[in-house]
């Protein structure tokens, strides 16, 4: 059911599924990360061309609802995907890593300095996207970056 809900969100623009999915994420967060202190929730960005095609960023939609539920500030403006990359779907692990290298940039470093960031995405497959985004956030001044995804692809 989770796979169907994620596909409905990403490929059928069913944004309404964000509400129950983000509640699921919020309900599990403190079990997954007991005692973790977070200063800012940041979604994995998509390239502007993908945003224009889809009309929204699924990680951002999940992230803002999740952040509101758990009472942590949210920003979808500190990290952007400046380089368009081919879809990760169907790529091998090493191809995924190479595909996303250098595709993210920090936009508002002052908002990151010394902050503990929770990086949100919809699906964790190999971790290549989350790892690259986290690396850029740390380079941009974040003191730590933790990743949290709605689902894991197996």
Global pTM exceeds 0.75: yes
The domains of the chain, with CATH numbers, are 2-152 (3.40.50.2020)
What pLDDT score was predicted for residue 110?
Answer: 84
- H helices present in the chain, as ranges: 2-12, 18-32, 48-54, 58-70, 93-100, 128-139
pLDDT digits (tens, 9 = 90+) for 12-62: 888 999 999 999 999 999 898 999 999 999 999 999 988 998 889 999 999
Distance CA 62, CA 6 (A): 11
What pLDDT score was predicted for residue 86?
Answer: 60
pLDDT of 97 higher than 90: no
Distance CA 107, CA 77 (A): 7
For residue 37, the surrounding DSSP H or E stretch is none
Closest C-alpha among 38, 115, 44 to residue 70: 38
pLDDT of 154 higher than 60: no
For residue 40, the surrounding DSSP H or E stretch is strand 40-43
């Amino acid at each position: 059911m989770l796979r169907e809900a994620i596909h409905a969100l990403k490929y059928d623009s069913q944004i309404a599924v964000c509400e129950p999915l983000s509640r699921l994420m919020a309900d599990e967060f403190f079990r997954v990360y007991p005692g973790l202190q977070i200063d800012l929730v940041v979604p994995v960005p998509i390239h502007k061309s993908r945003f224009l095609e889809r009309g929204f960023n699924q990680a951002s939609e999940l992230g803002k609802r999740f952040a509101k539920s758990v009472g942590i500030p949210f920003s979808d403006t500190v990290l952007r995907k400046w380089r368009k990359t081919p879809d990760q779907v169907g790529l091998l692990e090493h191809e995924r890593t190479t595909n996303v290298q250098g595709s993210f940039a920090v936009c508002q470093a002052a908002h990151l300095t010394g902050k503990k960031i929770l990086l949100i995405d919809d699906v964790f497959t190999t971790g290549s996207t989350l790892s690259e985004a986290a690396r850029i956030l740390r380079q941009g001044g974040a003191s730590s970056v933790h990743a949290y995804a709605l689902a894991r692809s197996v």
